[in-house]
Amino acid sequence: MSNPSPLISVIIPTKNGDAWLAKTISAILDQTLSDQTEIIIMDSGSTDNTAEILSRYPVRVIPIEPSSFNHGGTRNVGVRHAKGKYIVMTVQDAEPDSRFWLQNLLDGFDDEKVAGVCGQQIVPHDPENNPVDWFRPVSAPDKKKFFFDRPADFEALTAAEQRNICRWDDVNAMYRRDVLLSLPFRFTSFAEDALWARDALMAGYAIVYNTAARVKHYHFETPEYAFRRSFTVYYHMYIYFSERPSRVDNGLIMLLRNSKLLLKESRIGWPDKWKWLLFNYRQRTAINKAIDIFNDALAKGRTELDCKHNEICRTPPQALKPGRKEIKKA
């Protein structure tokens, strides 16, 4: 990890991450390419045991004033400090699913036009994680490449098609450093990754999705968290891709689907099956509430939508640290 000219720089923004960091960093140090990798921590004023945990590992820590943190801007600072030819973006609570995570990301750079490779998030089968979200693969891992000869070809797609192609994710993505220096993330409070993917395609680069590159990642979401996070996601996807949200199912369909999933899980007792069934019903109710309020505000105009977003999402929603007790608070 002391290599002065590493092949890969892994950048991790942190904020009170003591519940996750040891697993995350240990898994990165166990990668097959770890001897060609450096880890850069962008810490935004942690007040828990984050600093003590980081002191145990060969990482570079770059302090960031909490008031100056920005999803796009802070990552750009990390890129300027990085030494690797390739840059990996991940987060403090994401854990590589195998020792070949970095290699799988690197394998996506199969020609010079590829600016970045994005992997897949999976939810491990942990009793503290929502069983409805547990990873249940239906096909083998694969790679998909997107490239457009002309920006007009991309712009001719529907909003939903553009958004689907730009489902980029800085929880699990690798970039060419020289591309990030010439095409940095936009200074934005959210969705810097999806917006970068759009900018890369419009600039004539290719982007690749490789589902063999997996990280385990899960956020426990209270209904309030789900409501606020959903609203800010819909807001930014509308601003950047003109995509308008709509309800994807009604309560009964969701209830039946989740009941079927939970009934099949023999590892979950009946009290927890009921608990998670209610939990997911409340989540869907909160998300639909966000959709309804979003569309009502948008119907009154962009100014009203901006005001409503500022009112609901003045501060970014924060994920809770793991703990079984939190299920009861939902």
* pLDDT digits 0-9 by tens, 306-321: 999 999 988 766 666 6
128/273 same-domain check = no
Structure tokens at 56: 């145990």
Nearest to 39 by CA among 97, 115, 98, 90: 90
Q: Report if residue 304 sits inside a domain.
A: yes
| Residue 211: pLDDT band with limits 50, 70, 90 | very high
Last residue of a domain, one of 176, 195, 216: 216
DSSP alpha helices (H): ranges in the chain? 21-29, 50-54, 71-81, 101-106, 151-155, 159-165, 177-182, 192-202, 223-241, 251-264, 270-299, 302-312, 326-329
Question: In what helix (H) or strand (E) does residue 88 lie, and over which residues does it extend?
Answer: strand 86-90
Per-residue burial over 16-47, b = 16 or more CB atoms within 10 Å of its CB, e = otherwise = bbbbbbeebbebbeebebbebbbbbbbbbebe
Q: Report if residue 135 sits inside a domain.
A: yes
Question: What's this model's pTM, rounded to 2 decimal places?
Answer: 0.91
Whether 278 has a pLDDT exceeding 50, the answer reads yes
Domain limits at 126? 8-216
Structure tokens at 330: 């939902």
Sequence length of the chain is 330
Last residue of a domain, one of 149, 182, 216: 216
Helix axes 192-202, 223-241, angle to 10 degrees: 20
Tell me the average pLDDT across 160-177.
96
pLDDT of 312 reads 94
210/233 same-domain check = no
Residues 223, 329: Cα–Cα separation, whole Å: 10
182/112 same-domain check = yes
pLDDT of 256 reads 87
Residues 219, 162: Cα–Cα separation, whole Å: 26
Tell me the average pLDDT across 23-48.
97
Number of domains in the chain: 2
Q: Report if residue 129 sits inside a domain.
A: yes
Nearest to 226 by CA among 320, 304, 95: 320
154/276 same-domain check = no
108/163 same-domain check = yes
Residues 150, 155: Cα–Cα separation, whole Å: 9
CB atoms within 10 A of CB 56: 11
204/257 same-domain check = no
Last residue of a domain, one of 216, 251, 275: 216
209/68: higher pLDDT: 209
122/186 same-domain check = yes
Whether 253 has a pLDDT exceeding 90, the answer reads no
Q: Report if residue 3 sits inside a domain.
A: no
CATH number at residue 92: 3.90.550.10
Q: Report if residue 40 sits inside a domain.
A: yes
140/329: higher pLDDT: 140
For residues 321 and 19, the answer to whether their CB atoms sit within 8 Å is: yes
Tell me the average pLDDT across 28-51.
96
Portion of the chain with pLDDT greater than 90, in percent: 80
Q: Report if residue 75 sits inside a domain.
A: yes
Nearest to 305 by CA among 218, 208, 234: 234
Mean pLDDT of the chain: 92
173/30 same-domain check = yes
147/190 same-domain check = yes
Q: Report if residue 2 sits inside a domain.
A: no
Structure tokens at 35: 């001897």
134/245 same-domain check = no
184/166 same-domain check = yes
Q: Report if residue 296 sits inside a domain.
A: yes
26/172 same-domain check = yes
- Is 162 in a helix, a strand, or coil? helix
pLDDT of 319 reads 62
